[in-house]
Chain A
Amino acid sequence: MARHRPATEEKLARLVRSFAANRKPVEVLGGGTRPVGNPVKVDEVIETGALSGVTLYEPGALTLVAKAGTPLEEVNAALAAENQHLPFEPADYAGLFGTSGQSTIGGVVASGSTGPRAIQVGGARDALIGVRFVSGEGEIIKNGGRVMKNVTGYDLVKLLAGSHGTLGILTEVSFKLLPRPHTATTVKVHGIDAAGAVAAMTAALTSPYDVSGAAYDPSMEGGTALIRIEGFENSVSYRAGKLSELVADDHPSSAQIETETDATRIREIWKAIRDASFAGGVGTLLKAMLKPSDAPGLLDELRRSHAFDYLMDRGGGLVWMNADLSGEDTLSFINDAREAAAKRGGHVNIVRAPMEVYARVEAFHPQPDPIEAISAALRQQFDPAGILNPGRMAREGAVA
């Protein structure tokens, strides 16, 4: 296998042009720490790690521009020095995959990383305001820019976020930043089941108290709903008080309510949720997206025929499910989960599974034919030779 690490955007473009001319497929990697999607089996690998460095950071304008191969750690450190952050809490999947590479900011964008703060500020696509990328034809293209309000031309910025390197190779990304909250508190509701947790989280999320995280860990102290509030001190303690009252009204008898204020402990709790740490290093890990009110029903249905661990985030709108299975059991777990989610208007993507599974199911929940057809046609326009991460998001012939 040949690995290429072009040092400039122009060199990258030249490389892609030559691959395109020879119809030579390539795998595109940032740090290789988020191997999500169908496996790509090719002989050539392009890494973006040599395109590195923060090119512009204006704290007063809440804007940062960085080359795509910049380590996420470097971006985070630069922002921390000014008490700012990437609002969407990009996950660290090293624990899930046992990878040792350095996560890049381009990889964060290409994989559409989105953490628990999604319920308040959205995901990577919402913070991303500009991209530069090299298309499958080796053209250098820019879209968006460094300003947070921009409707000039089509918004390819959103399209590139979460495109897993199938539309182009990102070379530079720009973000809208947010101030890092001064303090955080987490209201914990112990001793409740999934349905009780969704009710508590819904009460919190439909209140005016600006919740920045709402998760449920069934393994924590008999089942614990976690509600995070961030901001200035007085405001945080005021809202934590109000939320405790609100949740207590909903759960008068069984639940115990406690407020966690230890900063380190709070960071650990939310990092574990962000990174789906409950899933450890083994098992088939699925990410189900559905309406929060449908989450308890989905869990009940699946638990009748499968044993798995789970974690809820985004108020129940995201259910992580992990099962250590083999052979046909893995497939039936995936297929049953997809069927249960689809009939509730949701979908299930595979985040981690044994390699052989991907030969039989798509990593990303297949969408209705017209949507898959549009997606395939867009890939064809951005990458006519079909050389960029071929099959990563949908295999050829996936469209019926």
Chain B
Amino acid sequence: MSMIEMPVPDAGILARRSEIVAALEVAAGAENVIWDAAETLAYECDALTAYRCPPLAVVLPRSTDAVSRVLKACSKLGVPVVPRGSGTSLAGGALPTADSVVIGVSRLNQVLEADYANRFIHVQSGMTNLSVSEAVAAEGFFYAPDPSSQLACAIAGNIAMNSGGAHCLKYGVTTNNLLGVTLVMMDGEIVQVGGPLGEQSGLDLLGVICGSEGQLGIVTEAWLKILPKPEGARPILLGFNANEVAGACVADIVKAGVLPVAMEFMDKPAIIACENFAHAGYPTDVEALLIVEVEGSPEEIEEQLGKIKEIAARHHPQVMRESNSPLQSDLIWKGRKAAFGAMGQMADYMCMDGTIPTSKLPEVLRRMDEMSKQYGLRVANVFHAGDGNLHPLILFDANKPGDQEKCEAFGSDILRLCVEAGGCLTGEHGVGIEKRDLMVEQFTPEDMEIQMRVKDVFDPQWLLNPAKVFPMQISHSRRVRNTGEAA
């Protein structure tokens, strides 16, 4: 079925299964180890569901010390480890191999300290993204990064993938909101990197740990920035008769010095799909739709929306509809947030995640349209317009032989196009297995070698999530050297 290659499981490890399970039970307590095949099945995939493989065993430790003991045991036994937050990765970041042990942090879900005066929260990494914001909401604070999966996704996964969200134009992504971590390294050593202060005295190790896709260590605790909630927020809906015009409007808003908290772009296929699904009241006769949201007091919102309307008017929008009530605001966002659901109702789909310089938007959309015709697969685009992060949704039929392969090939072409336009393969989902083999499109062998050397420092055995991020061929000698994996 699958086109993306995974390493051949190490027969030697599979043969030692009972010895390994016994060691895990000693390290974490038998009640925290899952090895029955019927139960490990629940961990066979993440949100990239096309790829599945149950692991050798799953451990759900209840403390940092237990994580340390488990990693130490795996390190001694030479067993690969796949860290797992909530399993919502769209890139296969938590996909196991048959010879691996999954370490899930879901039972580490406590708030350790909320310090409002110093504006941080210290949490265990299995807490969901949304539950962190909820924990500080009563005091009028929130945690800014808001990936679409925020109801389910864990802070551990957010850190591993440096997750973004719709509001990063103003608030940045995970790395800009992360102050420190407790990291357990593959040999079991526990280190604190950063802390409540957010500025380290030496090298910025936190900066490279964030976004390292679980390859440098397992994060069990995090110190996160919390921000006072704005007084209010209000979106405006702008419809244009061409993608180019919407793109020009975005650039003019930015140039005028207005900094909206979100600027979401939808192309015509996305508008129609979302409207049919969510009945958000979107105009279906426009080519491109922008949702622009601003924050502040009622007067501040008026001031900013006034400027946005003035700029938009110069681009002759077909629709300019300001929200006048929380109910209307919810409705405007409802459509956008339903994009994935809407697509899912129409067909199977694959969600891509490239970033392009915003100035290249019209050109990229035009070429994507040509490719869509060439491949005979439909594509709809939702796009964080302020920051250039593109989410093409390619529709296919999983029951039709060859359709998934075609879809993956189309997706790869789109990502190549993003790189060619001056952008990158992934803006917020991560490389995982999905974009692993495309890394050569963006990086030279030297670019990747130095990244792999960073892993050499943290995980010299290459046991942590080893078959991810770097193309298999390129990481081969390091993986084989250490695990004895079949070549």
Contact = CB atoms under 8 A, between A and B. Distances in A.
B303 interface: yes
Contacts of A180: 257
Contact of A60 (B196, B254, B387): B254
A374 B205 CA distance: 9
Nearest to B418: A147
A135 interface: yes
A240 to B, nearest CB: 12
B303 A371 contact: no
B207 A208 contact: no
Contact of B359 (A61, A135, A207, A232): A61
Interface in B155-169: 161-162, 164, 168
Contact of B117 (A153, A202, A235): A202
A289 B199 contact: yes
B453 A382 contact: yes
A28 to B, nearest CB: 16
B457 A374 contact: yes
A290 B195 CA distance: 10
B447 A393 contact: no
Nearest to B116: A206
A159 B304 CA distance: 36
A159 B431 contact: no
A14 B197 CA distance: 40
B388 interface: yes
A349 B201 contact: yes
Contacts of A82: 255
B276 interface: no
Given A155-B210, A158-B175, A61 B358 contact: yes
Interface in B417-437: 422-431, 435
A381 B427 CA distance: 27
A364 interface: yes
B453 A179 contact: no
Interface in A236-252: 238-239
A116 interface: no
Contact of A152 (B231, B357, B425): B425
A131 to B, nearest CB: 11
A317 B356 CA distance: 36
Contact of A58 (B304, B359, B389): B359
Most B C-beta atoms less than 10 A away, residue of A151, A159, A291, A377? A151
B197 A290 contact: yes
Interface residues of B, number: 92
A358 to B, nearest CB: 15
B442 A152 contact: yes
A378 B451 CA distance: 11
Most B C-beta atoms less than 10 A away, residue of A147, A346, A393? A147
Contacts of B435: 152
B204 A159 contact: yes
B201 A151 contact: no
Given A59-B255, A153-B431, A207 B357 contact: no
Contacts of B25: none
A125 B251 CA distance: 24
B119 A153 contact: no
Contact of A149 (B203, B250, B384, B444): B384
B118 A139 contact: no
A365 B443 CA distance: 35
A375 B203 contact: yes
B448 interface: yes
B47 to A, nearest CB: 16
Contact of A232 (B303, B430, B439, B458): B303
A150 B196 contact: no
Contacts of B115: 291
A148 to B, nearest CB: 5
A163 interface: yes
Contact of B448 (A125, A153, A238, A381): A153
B134 interface: no
Interface string B457-474: 110000000000100000
B117 A161 contact: no
Interface in B392-436: 422-431, 435
Given A61-B358, A145-B424, A394 B202 contact: yes
B348 interface: no
B295 to A, nearest CB: 9
A162 to B, nearest CB: 5
B173 interface: yes
Contacts of B454: 154, 156, 159, 378, 381
Interface string A281-323: 0000000011111000000000000000000000001000000
A145 B259 CA distance: 22
A234 B300 contact: yes
A61 B257 contact: no
Contacts of B202: 364, 367, 371-372, 375, 393-394
Interface in B114-167: 115-119, 140-141, 161-162, 164
Nearest to B163: A151
Contacts of B63: none
Interface in A171-187: 178-182
B200 interface: yes
Contacts of A59: 254-255
Contacts of B203: 159, 162-163, 166-167, 375, 378, 393
A179 B197 contact: no
Contacts of A292: 117-118
A38 to B, nearest CB: 12
A339 B389 CA distance: 45
6 contacts: A58-B359, A140-B446, A150-B426, A156-B454, A159-B205, A378-B457
Interface of B: 115-119, 140-141, 161-162, 164, 168, 172-173, 175-176, 189, 191-193, 195-197, 199-208, 210-212, 228-231, 250-252, 254-259, 296-297, 299-300, 303-304, 307, 355-359, 384, 387-389, 422-431, 435, 439, 442-444, 446-451, 453-458, 469
Given A154-B454, A163-B204, 15 more contacts: A58-B357, A60-B255, A60-B358, A61-B251, A141-B450, A150-B424, A153-B431, A154-B212, A155-B212, A158-B208, A179-B258, A205-B228, A210-B230, A291-B118, A393-B203
